[in-house]
């Protein structure tokens, strides 16, 4: 191991994401002065094909045996750069990631000088660790060819059917007494105007008919153990506990409609939500003789009123319901009071025009002056502020329909804890990467689809269901997964066999065995070890080494953070 350490450093501009704040050329100059660094360069996007080619050719040209990339987060891009190193013949664990975007340019946007200094420090720390990296070999383990899909709404059923048709067993878990999710409440679907119930019925029939799908109704997830390939999901199925072994898990728990209590005189009768309207349309539960005017109000509770986000589906939903009313009851006045209007793509645009043609009237209000609903002499009046006229237009309404956003189910938090996957700021499940891994969680073997991930219409939910199934198929079809060799190992020379490591290991991956007569030593079962490293920080003789996060690597990083070591 007397090989000379030759480190290549690649600093990413990330377009303007990093380069717009951090002085990237200065960081490159600095990096090239660091000990062991034989090559430093900058790339517009290190993760682009040119960037990756640059890494590969530099490894060959400069005979690099360590690579440091300073760009975004290892949570999304580490595997890509490791694979690139591997392609160039370098052991992927001789790669070190430095995060100068999420930890630097994005959070110190107004302090470019400090951000540049910090970027230099972070690169120095990364180089210090890289110099101490060791080549590691990946481990492989088997995958149980079964999937668990949580939530039997439209996206969950789509994912389940897709996986079952690919030949895998699927356990589809639904907390309600029947499948269907939000779709059960809908009347007709845009842009085809087909009946939601008929559409749903086909899917449910296909799910029920499929021999490889087991549908668990009135069931909730109680516990989840294990890891990709070998999950154990404990269910409460109508009061009976049941354990399912599975290789992958798909989260498709859906969302619910926000309840606008206390807003816009909401009462569930004369002021109702779009879903309540659909329910009434479905059951023909409206006395049209008494309804002359319907006013729909968009963005209720959304876009800063209660939640911050735009629910994105309510515009099309309102347009659809307004058009359906107008088509069946042309004599009824239908208004949509809106701020922006989302009818993207050709089909939706044509649908919007059809609604206009059918006589639906659109009134725009500024977001700062949302409509007000008031009661006057037993009548409902909606005041919609007209920007050009600069005055409130009072509309006497017999029915007010509030377009409210989809919000996360309250039990999602519990599930996120069980699965150890994150929720974002808006409480929806949070994907590993919005563009690169849109249906994966950062945790291997767990995927997501449908409105659990954020507001989506039926088409998008279905597309995402297929996407999640296709991602989940990768480990299922391969039959094995490679797991990271980031595991602990015991130095038997130093170990005294006290067993404290065994007592702290959550996976039973380390145990004390008799290696000789009267000589006990701790041993690690590599495939069981998940790499937390608690055994290492507990070992009384400091005899346990945590690969890739070893004491000497962490100490080198920490010392480099506070001391400068320039060649």
Partner 1 sequence: MEAVKIIGFLCNWCCYAGADLAGVSRFQYPPNIRIIRVMCSGRVDPVIILDAFLYGADGVFVGGCHPGDCHYLEGNYYAEKKIEMAQRLLKEARVEPKRLHLEWVSASEGERFSKIMKEFSDEIKALGPVTFETEALEAACLAAADYRLRILATKERELLEVGNKYGEVFTQHEMDRLLDDIVREEYEEKRILLKLKEPRSVKEIASELNLKPNIVLRHIMDLKRYELVDIHELRDYTPVYIARKLDEEGITE
Instruction: State the residues that interact with partner 1 by CB under 8 A.
Output: 73-75, 99, 101-104, 106-111, 114-115, 117-118, 121-122, 125, 417, 420, 422-425, 427, 430, 442-443, 486, 498, 500, 503-504, 506, 530-534, 536-542, 546, 549, 551-552, 554-555, 557-559, 561-563
Cα–Cα dist 92/190, whole Å: 49
Cα–Cα dist 71/17, whole Å: 10
CB of residue 109 to partner 1, shortest distance in Å: 6
Residue 542: CB atoms within 10 Å: 12
CB of residue 554 to partner 1, shortest distance in Å: 5
Residue owning tokens 């023909």: 284
Taking the least distance from each CB to partner 1, the nearer of 444 and 457 is 444
Q: Contact, 476 vs 483, CB < 8 A?
A: no
CB of residue 137 to partner 1, shortest distance in Å: 18
Taking the least distance from each CB to partner 1, the nearer of 479 and 499 is 499
Taking the least distance from each CB to partner 1, the nearer of 213 and 412 is 412
Taking the least distance from each CB to partner 1, the nearer of 477 and 555 is 555
CB of residue 506 to partner 1, shortest distance in Å: 4
CB of residue 23 to partner 1, shortest distance in Å: 14
Taking the least distance from each CB to partner 1, the nearer of 9 and 215 is 9
Taking the least distance from each CB to partner 1, the nearer of 115 and 295 is 115
CB of residue 239 to partner 1, shortest distance in Å: 25
Taking the least distance from each CB to partner 1, the nearer of 303 and 320 is 303
Q: Contact, 444 vs 530, CB < 8 A?
A: no
Taking the least distance from each CB to partner 1, the nearer of 523 and 548 is 548
Q: Contact, 105 vs 21, CB < 8 A?
A: yes
DSSP 429: B
Q: Contact, 381 vs 394, CB < 8 A?
A: yes
Mutual angle of helices 154-165 and 196-209, in 10-degree steps: 40
The answer for residues whose C-beta is within 8 angstroms of residue 448's C-beta and 6 or more apart is 250, 251, 252, 421, 429, 431, 439, 440, 441, 468
Cα–Cα dist 189/457, whole Å: 9
Q: Within 13 A of 159's CA, how many CA atoms are on the CB side?
A: 37
3-class SS shares of the chain: helix, strand, coil, % to 5: 35, 25, 40
CB of residue 337 to partner 1, shortest distance in Å: 31
How far separated are the first and last CA of the chain, in Å rounded?
Answer: 22
Q: Please report, for the chain, how many H helices and E strands are present, in that order.
A: 14, 30
Q: Contact, 373 vs 272, CB < 8 A?
A: no
Taking the least distance from each CB to partner 1, the nearer of 80 and 206 is 80
CB of residue 403 to partner 1, shortest distance in Å: 26
Cα–Cα dist 94/53, whole Å: 17
CB of residue 419 to partner 1, shortest distance in Å: 11
């Amino acid at each position: 191991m007397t090989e000379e350490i030759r480190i290549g450093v690649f600093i990413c501009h990330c377009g303007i994401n990093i380069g717009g704040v951090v002085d990237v050329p200065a960081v490159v100059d600095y990096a090239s002065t660091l000990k062991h660094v034989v090559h430093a360069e900058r790339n517009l996007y290190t993760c682009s094909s040119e960037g990756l080619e640059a890494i590969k050719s530099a490894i060959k040209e400069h005979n690099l045996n360590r690579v440091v990339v300073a760009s975004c987060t290892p949570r999304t891009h580490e595997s890509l750069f490791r694979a690139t190193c591997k392609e160039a013949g370098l052991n992927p664990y001789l790669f070190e990631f430095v995060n100068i975007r999420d930890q630097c340019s994005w959070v110190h946007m107004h302090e470019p000088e400090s951000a540049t200094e910090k970027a230099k420090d972070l690169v120095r720390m990364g180089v210090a660790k890289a110099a101490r990296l060791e080549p590691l070999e990946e481990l492989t383990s088997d995958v149980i060819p079964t999937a668990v899909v949580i939530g039997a709404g439209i996206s969950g059923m789509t994912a389940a059917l897709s996986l079952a048709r690919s030949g895998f067993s699927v356990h589809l878990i639904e907390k309600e007494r029947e499948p269907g999710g939000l779709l059960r409440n809908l009347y007709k679907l845009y842009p085809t105007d087909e009946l939601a119930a008929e559409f749903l019925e086909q899917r449910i029939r296909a799910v029920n008919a499929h021999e490889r799908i087991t549908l668990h109704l009135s069931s909730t997830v109680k516990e989840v153990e294990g890891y990709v390939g070998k999950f154990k999901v404990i269910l409460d199925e109508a009061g009976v506990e049941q354990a399912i072994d599975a290789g992958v898990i798909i989260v498709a728990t859906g969302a619910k409609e926000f309840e606008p209590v206390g807003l816009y005189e909401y009462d569930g009768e004369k002021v109702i939500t779009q879903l309540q309207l659909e329910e009434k349309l479905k059951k023909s539960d409206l006395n049209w003789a008494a309804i002359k005017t319907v006013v729909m109000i968009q963005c209720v509770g959304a876009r800063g009123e209660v939640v911050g986000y735009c629910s994105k589906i309510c515009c099309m939903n309102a347009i659809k319901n307004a058009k359906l009313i107008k088509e069946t009851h042309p004599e009824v006045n239908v208004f949509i009071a809106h701020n922006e209007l989302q009818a993207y793509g050709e089909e939706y645009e044509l649908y919007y025009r059809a609604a206009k043609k059918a006589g639906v009237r659109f009134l725009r209000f500024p977001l700062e002056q949302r409509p007000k609903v008031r009661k006057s002499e037993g009548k409902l009046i909606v005041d919609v502020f007209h920007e050009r006229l600069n005055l409130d237009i009072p509309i006497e309404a017999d029915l007010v329909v509030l377009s409210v956003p989809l919000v996360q189910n309250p039990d999602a938090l519990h599930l996120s804890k069980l699965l150890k996957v994150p929720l974002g700021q808006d409480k929806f499940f949070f994907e590993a990467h919005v563009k690169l891994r849109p249906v994966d969680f950062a945790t291997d073997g767990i995927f997501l689809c449908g409105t659990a991930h954020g507001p989506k219409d039926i088409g998008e939910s279905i597309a995402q269901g297929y996407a999640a199934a296709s991602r989940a198929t990768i480990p299922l079809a391969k039959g094995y997964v490679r797991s990271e060799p980031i595991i602990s190992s015991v130095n038997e020379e130093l170990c005294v066999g006290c067993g404290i490591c065994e007592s702290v290991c959550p996976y039973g991956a380390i145990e004390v065995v008799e290696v000789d007569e009267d000589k006990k030593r701790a041993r690690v079962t590599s495939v069981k070890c998940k790499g937390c490293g608690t055994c290492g920080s507990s070992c009384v003789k400091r005899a346990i080494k945590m690969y890739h996060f070893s004491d000497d690597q962490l100490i080198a990083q920490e010392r480099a953070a506070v001391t400068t070591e320039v060649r």
